[in-house]
Amino acid sequence: MKSIDLLITEAKQLIYFSKTDATHGNDTWRLKAITNGYVAIEDGHVVHIGSEDEVLPLVQIDSGTVTIDAHDKVVTPGLVDSHTHPVFHQTREHEFEMRVQGKSYEEIAAAGGGIRSSVRGVREASKEELKSVVRKRLDRFLSVGTTTIEAKSGYGLSLEDEVKSLEVIRELNDEHSLEMIPTFLGAHEVPTEYREKRDEYIQLVIKEMIPYVAENGLAEFCDIFCEQGVYTVSEARRILSAAREAGLRIKLHADQLHLTGATRLATELQAVSADHLECLDDEGIQAMASSKTIAGLLPGAVFFLGSHRYPPARKLLDAGTRVCLATDFNPGSSMTQSLPLMMTLGCLFMKMTPEEALMASTIFGAASICREEVIGNLLPGYRADVVLWDADDYRQIPYYYGVNLVNTVIKKGKVVFKIDHGQN
């Protein structure tokens, strides 16, 4: 018998998810907790979980096996952040200050700020300059317990600059422990130089960008910002249909600031996820419930814009829709990388239970990037992406807020982050 690489022992609470019978046509998961739990890891995968008596007879341990004592820790799957915009150059704290002083996000955008200011930044930066700022953000994701993110382009808005952004993601994916799943978001905004000829830009996205991105394997998903004043539902249908034909899977920014019907388009096109949904109506909730499309909810963007219009998580969950939580990390409307904070907001303002919030940040986040059989869980066979929390109970993860309970992060069976409490 081959000896295992890593053994986590005596976890105060070991959390994993097991599948129950389908409800509303969707398979569902239930949270399970093992007291004094053990996790055995080999070749980057979980091979056994259970009590000491269940796990130890099945594994061989030798001097090469790393052992981590978790007797005062909660152990969960690594968090999966299924909606982020990490490839930007400059931060926009001056806009934050303007907002605090009363300017609206729309007024700031009209004055040259907003997404367009990040577009200027990405276009002016070299690939290496972009990589060096993005790399630091990846370190921070790991430090707050996130082991995989979905990462969008969308601040380039030209073939060259969208490709540059996606190459930053691809190259850093090879160089960094954080795993990134790339999404092409060339239809994030209409770039300034195409304001008077938007159809030409849509043609550029459909005829040049999507084929190039798909042929070169630069993205798995294609996303669009379908919103009043940005892209209409019929434009979104054209762009996403082209993406689907090119072999990309589909996501949408849908019904965020206005009810446009984008969520219904998402279900019609069998999008993997429809994200935001702050303005979703009951008809849209029904459409989601009778589809396989996952609801990607982003409470950070509601909170950070000072709004109170949180998406209808409770109604979606009660209707049987699968729900994930994500940070929407971006320099304008959600400058956070913390999924635990999203869990807190999800519980407080969207009436999700701590169990639902944790599943929304792990297994359903994984489902939202088509990886629910690979990551987001600790059953044998899953990738050994694990977080050890300085906590006694998983419900403390959303209960504490504004502090980081992460102690140790394991990615593919290797420790990639460990908190330094200092010695005392």
Residues making contact with Zn ion (CB under 5 A): 328
Return the HEC string of the chain: CCECCEEEEEECEEEEEEEEEEECCEEEEEEEEECCEEEEEECCEEEEEECHHHHHHHCECCCCCEEEECCCCEEEECEEEEEECCCCCCCCHHHHHHHHCCCCHHHHHHCCCCHHHHHHHHHHCCHHHHHHHHHHHHHHHHHCCEEEEEEECCCCCCHHHHHHHHHHHHHHHHHCCCEEEEEEEEECCCCHHHCCCHHHHHHHHHHHHHHHHHHCCCCCEEEEEECCCCECHHHHHHHHHHHHHCCCEEEEEECCCCCCCHHHHHHHCCCCEEEECCCCCHHHHHHHHCCCCEEEECHHHHHHCCCCCCCCHHHHHHCCCCEEECCCEECCCECCCCHHHHHHHHHHHHCCCHHHHHHHCCHHHHHCCCCCCCCCCCCCCCECCEEEECCCCCCHHHHCCCCCCEEEEEECCEEEEECCCCCC
Report how far apart, in Å, the C-alpha atoms of 187 and of each of 26, 199, 209, 210, 226 are: 30, 12, 10, 10, 9
Q: How far is the CB of 319 from Zn ion (least distance, A)?
A: 23
Q: Which is nearer to Zn ion, 278 or 328 (CB)?
A: 328
Q: Which is nearer to Zn ion, 311 or 413 (CB)?
A: 311
Q: Which is nearer to Zn ion, 254 or 269 (CB)?
A: 254
Q: Which is nearer to Zn ion, 42 or 223 (CB)?
A: 223
Q: Which is nearer to Zn ion, 346 or 354 (CB)?
A: 346
Q: Which is nearer to Zn ion, 154 or 354 (CB)?
A: 154
Nearest one of 330, 302, 283, 401 to 81, comparing CA atoms: 330
From CA 131, how far away is CA 365, in angstroms rounded? 25
Q: How far is the CB of 32 from Zn ion (least distance, A)?
A: 32
Angle at 82 between CA 77 and CA 87, to 5 degrees: 120
Q: Which is nearer to Zn ion, 328 or 385 (CB)?
A: 328
Q: Which is nearer to Zn ion, 10 or 275 (CB)?
A: 275
Q: How far is the CB of 81 from Zn ion (least distance, A)?
A: 11
From CA 204, how far away is CA 159, in angstroms rounded? 8
Closest residue to Zn ion, judged by C-beta, is: 328
Q: Which is nearer to Zn ion, 99 or 253 (CB)?
A: 253
Q: How far is the CB of 127 from Zn ion (least distance, A)?
A: 23
Q: Which is nearer to Zn ion, 131 or 253 (CB)?
A: 253
Q: How far is the CB of 323 from Zn ion (least distance, A)?
A: 16
Q: How far is the CB of 213 from Zn ion (least distance, A)?
A: 18
Q: How far is the CB of 83 from Zn ion (least distance, A)?
A: 6
Nearest one of 323, 357, 316, 324 to 340, comparing CA atoms: 357
Q: How far is the CB of 85 from Zn ion (least distance, A)?
A: 6
Q: How far is the CB of 357 from Zn ion (least distance, A)?
A: 19
Q: How far is the CB of 331 from Zn ion (least distance, A)?
A: 11
